[in-house]
Copies of this chain bind each other. A is one copy, B any other.
Amino acid sequence: MKDLTFGLIGWGYWGPKLARNLDTLPQSALAMVADMDAGRLAQVAAQQPWVKTTTSAEDIFRADVDGVVIATPVRTHYRLAREALLHGKHVLVEKPLTDNVADAEELVELARERGLTLMVGHTFEYSPAVNELRKIVRAGDLGNILCVETERVNLGLYRSDINVIWDLAPHDVSILLYILGETPTSVRAQAHAHLTPRIFDIAHLDLGFGGHMTAHVHVSWLHPCKIRRVTVIGDQRMAVYDDTNPAEMLKIFNKGADVHADPVVSYRYGAITIPHIEWVEPLRLECADFANAIRTGAQPRAHGGVGLEVVRILAAAQETVGSARETHAAELVMAGS
């Protein structure tokens, strides 16, 4: 018997994937799907014909469902999530939680007041490889972490509502917070719009962690190759997580540089280890965590507070792009050249 039912809003890229996973959770069922496009709703009928469809999100808020999953464009997240919470529904929103800090703060506060689960779709926090990497980092296997570098680039997909910082960097920032367990104390960014005016398609975020650690996030919609890589550099060992290489997703390099009496640096070169990682679809674990949070009241891994933290960092990054562009580049007025 099904004791948990879900409504899903938005049948775009993530909607069908979420629907499939929600429906195969034990004792759970997807009851209704809303999308403004009737053509898309016909696809729902093809995939899961027992699910009701509607073109009005309101129908879902009024329906007898326990959880609402929101997979719509970012600018609508706040309004839909707020409405769902006000109707007493538990909410899972696709990342990023909102497109500004104030809205995210309000949602987190609203969920707290009402005692409802608010969760955000930071899928990579449920990736087995990311969790193995986190375990290794937290156990101190890499020593003290000095630096993390992430790269998430490909050709497209261009979005017209948000720039590449808000589209791709939520993944990397949530991975950073999750594996490091620390929040950056400073953020700067460089970003450029090459193809469409004012919508950044390449960005570099530079994060500081109180002087003892740095992180660098490179995201791009304008690159010939698909790269999805996180490099963690400890003072004892280093690790590379490459999401595009299923057979060797995580490599631990037993190598490093040791500083002795200045200026002597010596190098250690040891074995590389590639742990075996049992594959489970991250989205399935994410949906199961949402179901469990609803049932037990436990805080889900990717709870609203984490979603808010990611939004704060993205907003800070975005803010520095504008200011830095005008004032800080060295103007190369080259008299002699």
What is A's interface to B at a CB cutoff of 8 Å? 24, 46, 49-50, 105, 108, 146-147, 149, 155-158, 160, 183-188, 190, 192, 194-196, 202, 204, 206, 208, 214, 216, 218, 221-226, 231, 233, 235, 238-240, 247-248, 251, 253-257, 259, 262-263, 265, 267, 269-276, 305, 308-309, 312-313, 316-317, 319-320, 323-324, 327-332, 334, 336-337
Contact = CB atoms under 8 A, between A and B. Distances in A.
A332 B183 contact: yes
B194 A146 contact: yes
Given A105-B336, A156-B257, 20 more contacts: A24-B46, A149-B223, A155-B257, A157-B265, A187-B329, A188-B328, A188-B330, A190-B206, A192-B214, A194-B214, A194-B233, A195-B235, A195-B265, A204-B216, A224-B231, A224-B253, A255-B276, A271-B275, A316-B332, A324-B328
A222 to B, nearest CB: 6
Contacts of A190: 188, 190, 204, 206, 216
Contacts of A255: 155, 224, 276
Contacts of A155: 255-257, 267
Q: How many chain copies?
A: 4
A272 B160 CA distance: 28
Contacts of A251: 224
Nearest to A319: B330
Contacts of A204: 190, 204, 206, 216
Contact of A184 (B218, B259, B332): B332
A265 B329 contact: no
Nearest to A275: B271
Q: Which of A49, A208, A224, A308 gathers the greatest number of chain B CB atoms within 10 Å?
A: A224
Contacts of A231: 223-225
Given A188-B328, A328-B324, A195 B248 contact: no
A271 B273 contact: yes
Contacts of A265: 156-158, 160, 195-196
Contacts of A312: 332, 334, 337
A84 to B, nearest CB: 22
Contacts of A214: 192, 194, 202
Contacts of A274: 271-274
Contact of A316 (B195, B208, B267, B330): B330
Nearest to A317: B330
A331 B271 contact: no
B272 A329 contact: no
A187 B190 CA distance: 11
Given A240-B225, A265-B196, A328 B332 contact: no
Given A204-B216, A336-B105, A331 B185 contact: yes
A233 B223 contact: yes
A156 B324 contact: no
Contact of A222 (B24, B146, B221, B222): B146
A255 B257 CA distance: 32
Contacts of A221: 257
